[in-house]
Amino acid sequence: MPRLRMICAGVVAGLLLASKGYADSPLPPSEHKLGLDSVGTVEFFAFSEGYGAVVPAKSARANVSSYALQASTELRVARVPSIFIFEDALFLLGNSKGQEDAKRNLQPMIIVGRYGIGAQIRPFLQLKLTHGENYDFEKPTAAGAPWNSISIRLAHREDTARFENYVEVHFYPPHNEYDPYPSGPFSERIVARYGVEFAKKIPIPKSRRVFLFTEPLFLFGHSRPQISYNYSAKPLAARLVNGVGFTLKRSLQMRLTFGEWRYLAGYHRQTQSWNGLSLRYGW
């Protein structure tokens, strides 16, 4: 009996010590804690003198920018990784009239923005709803109406390379078309029903740091706002963006970019072109 009592007392003491040690130990992280995951890029442009990202204006001469800051991000909640929100905003800085009035300053000018919500259907396939709009800081200069699109994007990578290698096809519903040249009366304007954009980064053989890139947007359609809405896929305009880059670090690049708007199929508008040097950081 004494031996049995000693055994029972030892068991009870061990249970008490174990319970005390468990109570003092930190609790495991809660599975319900909200976590956010984001990937994106930030790029700062310095445009060459006499050039700039031309902003279509109501006046005869369009304002151009000396500098620009572009930010693109995708944000996901860890508990719902298949749903994400995104934005792609271009902040134009430096209010200038071009060669006759080439001011080089950092005056806020316009935000050319687009944002929306998307669903990750497959690891390489996204379905997106996008809203695009221009926001003026001072006097209204951008005459374009807001646009909306339903799009499918193909991108194979899960990191920031998804912003450098993708194909996206847009459908702009009636009364939500993309206007490539938002200037002049409605009777003279043609807007896009469809859009195809892609980005491709092309490494240079035998070079780990130098690469070429292209990021064009092709627009199709022949609708006239408030006059004729149709589903024609006639070639309308192309925004051609390409250049050469140099990888400074894994997440930092220097780029020389050349861009131009070209109008197709008899859509006669003034050609808009720009070029500039930029630094791009990705995370």
CA distance 122 to 208: 30
Q: Which tokens is 169 given?
A: 């096809």
Rounded to an integer, the average pLDDT of 121-146 is 82
CA distance 257 to 246: 12
Which CATH architecture fits 33-282?
Beta Barrel (2.40)
- The residue extents of the domains of the chain are 33-282
pLDDT of residue 139: 60
pLDDT of residue 217: 96
Let me know: does 236 contact 222? Beta carbons within 8 Å: yes
How far CA 188 is from CA of 44, 99, 273, in Å, comes to 35, 27, 22
Could you read off the pLDDT of 199-253 as tens digits, one per residue?
A: 999 999 888 899 999 999 999 999 988 888 999 999 999 999 999 999 998 899 9
On the question of pLDDT at 258 being above 90, the answer is: yes
Reported as a pLDDT band with limits 50, 70 and 90, residue 7 is very low
Q: Which amino acid is at 204?
A: I
Rounded to an integer, the average pLDDT of 125-134 is 95
The larger pLDDT score, comparing residue 267 to residue 218, is at 218
Could you read off the pLDDT of 171-209 as tens digits, one per residue?
A: 999 999 998 877 666 667 889 999 999 999 999 988 889
- Give the Cβ contact number of residue 42 at 10 Å: 14
On the question of pLDDT at 6 being above 90, the answer is: no
Model's pTM, two decimal places? 0.80
